[in-house]
Amino acid sequence: MEYQIIDAFTNKLFSGNQAGVCLPNTQLPENIMQNIAAENNLSETAFLLKQNNGHYNLRWFTPTTEVDLCGHATLASAFVLFDEREKDACQLTFDTASGELTVIRDGNLLCLNFPASPPKECHTHPAIGKALGVEPIAVFKSIDLVVLVENEDTLRCITPDFSALRQIASDGGIYDDCLGIIATAPGNGCDFVSRYFAPGAGVPEDPVTGRAHCTLTPFWSKRLGKKVMDAQQISPRGGVLRCEDCGERIKISGKAVRYLKGVIEL
């Protein structure tokens, strides 16, 4: 089976977020896909299979579980298809657990069209500040938790207690349906910055998280009074995103580069 590793939300190797992209000829059993993702040990591995209607079925797996939405692995999948299999296409359509998703090619930028997930302010459990080592200004909830901190310097200095982060869902009660924790702040050289932690899903810190920006885009759009924003995820690898608030949908644009092409032997 053809396999590639793509660095997403970056224009240079060894930065952005690595995604594995698998291109099987037939549908693989779920346990095989999960084992491949665990063997790859990247934050996400995507599995693409073309359908009769021209769409692609797309599924995403962390090393420990399947997830219902992943931005960087969608960007990576689109990059592979536009570059090799759909060279004349300007748009791709993916059938996923989160419904129909599209990616448009605009030069060397790829634009993801995803559902918006605006957060609502919620109770701040004391365990959050303890786990992050910084007291939040406020906490919000959507598909992930959003922890607002004072500024970019504070965000960069966070050194999480990952064991404590894993306990927040069970201790907090109201957080038990959240996959991860987004810490965010106003940016120094961009509109906003973020970091993303999901130790319960086998991803202690994700380098660049597209799905988090389904929540961050409407959150910061409201706070800043802007529809189009530049964002950075300030993990050690780092990543750059252009975000647009379109109401019930958001657009997340970024670049990608190929790191590896190979074959998985099953």
CB atoms within 10 A of CB 265: 6
Residue 187: closest CA among 225, 151, 147: 151
Angle, CA of 243, 249 and 254, to the nearest 5°? 30
Gap between the Cα atoms of 73 and 165, Å rounded: 24
Q: Kindly report the length of the chain.
A: 266
Q: Which contiguous run of DSSP H or E holds residue 153?
A: helix 152-157
- Written as one string, the DSSP assignment of 204-225 is EEES--TTHHHHHHHHHHHHHT
Residues in Cβ contact with 84 at an 8 Å cutoff, skipping those fewer than 6 apart: none
Gap between the Cα atoms of 206 and 59, Å rounded: 18
Active-site pick, 39, 44, 86, 244: 44
30 is catalytic: no
- What residues act catalytically? 44
